[in-house]
Structure 1
């Protein structure tokens, strides 16, 4: 009788757990636009908490440590917004203004090859594309002005945008200050029977996230700086834009290298009209790849297990498709949890009678 009661209780608990997960997923989907500033603040707090703990170990108070880390985060983000955005916008404008010339050079290169293989040259006619780009670029200022005018006229949109922008630093400060206590209170709510196992798995998730996010963000930043400096030495006009793009996509191994060489190589060829700058671009990325393999990855990521590149790509795309920008922020934490759960499920399967 006791065994049957235990089984009924276990099945009931499982049903309640599934119901809680379904309801939480539904609420997350419905409230994703509202939750975006909370998730951004949580991300900043998660990344900054180890620095706060380090400062606390130097006999600083929690409030003082949080204030120092918060100031650093605020200054870094402000510099990126005030300095990097105008520079990147200028380079994007330069790219759009040069695109018709790039297409003209491409057509001049392709037409002799088409003639050599006996194909008509109008198969690769880019005149329509150039006209569309010219029309788009001439109307871009009008479109941007219309969007800005709409935002200023629509009071609710403007208030919501400013509210989210002001809410993020406030939430970040309070989450940083109370991070350890929030984690402790959450652990107190865990059923005592499963608390030890759950904490063990959460620490594995944290280790995977720390190895990928904190370490990989540093690697991405360092690579973006190296790419930008190297391409600037070559004299590439779009050095900053291409360096940042290659650095951002380097969270997938070798993707930043491939994308960077292709884009920067094409930009160098179109700008200089010679193959020597293209070779110099390849040398820049080869040197950066060597620095990443010998210095950056061992220093910032180390031997901690990260997420598989396929898991990273799928989780980011799936999160963006389901929940928009909030889903992109949740993608990597969710993927790390799923990977840890799958690893434990795989081990339980190997230890089960079904496998043996």
Structure 2
């Protein structure tokens, strides 16, 4: 019996996939601007499509998206970054007091309630430790700047990579639909219909996570920061931003934000209970708004990645290819999730699954 066409094509597909993975692993040190530009192009393509449907030219829509992005980035750099650095400095200065409370009050209370053997945390000279770490950080920055300034090639490479990101994003955003059609045309024709459906489903999953969850993260960071500012926390923006970024994993943002904010509020307000209640109320209201309004509106009922899958994908990507691997981890995980789901469905419908 001669092999089926699908069987004869399969080695070619597996070989092409293996070559792509090998090239990514070998070339990942130079891929960062292309990956970042590709993600920006992917995120901006739906907006450009909507503008094009309203009569804009493709290039005009891309230019409009870039103007919005640059204005937003400029606002963040001008207002948010200085505030974050200032509040982060305040938070670092509170570390000795937090550690003292943990070692002198919280840990003994917990041990007595749980009938555990007393264990003392080591005494740490925080003034010396923080000074040493800040000195190490300053030395690291100084050494890095010295190496960069003494090597013109390194400076040129960094500037070139930064300048390359918007160029790659512009051309990918402008030609995204044509590139997708050309890529699909390379697939064997009998597979194109089913593959188009799977790619559309993968785009739905990935879009829900990248586009929708990104907006949810920003909205939560804003809500938590404003709420904690109203409560009166000195490091409200740092805590709110950290909680918003952590919400890339469902419910992790609320857990991280509540724990850290309650601890900071306890020290700042001298152990008063009312500020703690207000902090808990801020996160309770924020979580309710996220669950009932933000996620249904921005993400919808599309199937997202499981939190464990998100953690594993990010860690695996970082292990394989560093920062570039982290950037591509979620897109690859979303595509593999969809293809694996269809493979399992095909297997359960086959004779190999039902045969006695």
Q: Normalising to structure 2: TM-score of the pair? A: 0.92
Show the counterpart of 2:351. Answer: 353
Compute the displacement of 1:260 (Å): 0.6
1:17 match: 13
Q: Decide whether the 8 Å contact of 2:213 with 2:299 is kept in 1.
A: yes
Aligned counterparts of 1:119 and 1:128: Cα–Cα separation in 2? 25
Paired residues of 2:206 and 2:331 also in contact (CA < 8 A):
yes
Q: Deviations over 1:243-298 (max 9, x none)?
A: 11100111211111111101111111122221332222111100001111121111
Residue segments in structure 2 that go unaligned for 5+ positions in a row: none
Alignment CA distance shift 1:291-1:114 (3 Å) = closer
**Distance in structure 1 (CA, Å) of the matches to 2:188 and 2:161:** 35
Measured in 1, the distance between the counterparts of 2:169 and 2:298 equals 24
CA distance in 2, matches of 1:20, 1:247: 39
Question: Deviation of residue 96 (structure 1)?
Answer: 1.9
Q: CA deviation at 1:138?
A: 4.3
Q: Residues 90-129 of structure 1: matches in 2 within 5 Å?
A: 90-110=86-106, 113=109, 123-128=120-125
**2:310 corresponds to:** 312
Distance in 1 (CA, whole Å) between partners of 2:326 and 2:106 is 39
Given that 1:100 and 1:133 are in contact with CA atoms closer than 8 Å, whether structure 2 keeps it comes out as: no
Matches within 5 A, 1:160-199: 160-199=157-196
In structure 2, the residue matched to 1:229 is: 226
Structure-2 residue corresponding to 1:64: 60
The equivalent of 2:290 in structure 1 is: 292
Number of residue-to-residue matches in the alignment: 351
Contact 1:51 1:69 in 2 (8 A): yes
Residue 156 (structure 2) aligned to one of 159, 162, 174: 159
Give the structure 2 partner of residue 75 of structure 1: 71
**Does structure 1 residue 217 correspond to structure 2 residue 214?**
yes
Root mean square deviation of aligned Cα? 2.1
Compared CA separation, residues 111 and 58, structure 1 to 2 (3 A): closer
2:29 to 21, 30, 33: 33
User: Normalised by the size of structure 1, how large is the TM-score?
Assistant: 0.92
Q: In the alignment, what sits opposite 1:208?
A: 205
- CA displacement, residues 206-238 of structure 1 (integer Å, 9 cap, x when unaligned): 111112211111111000000000111111111
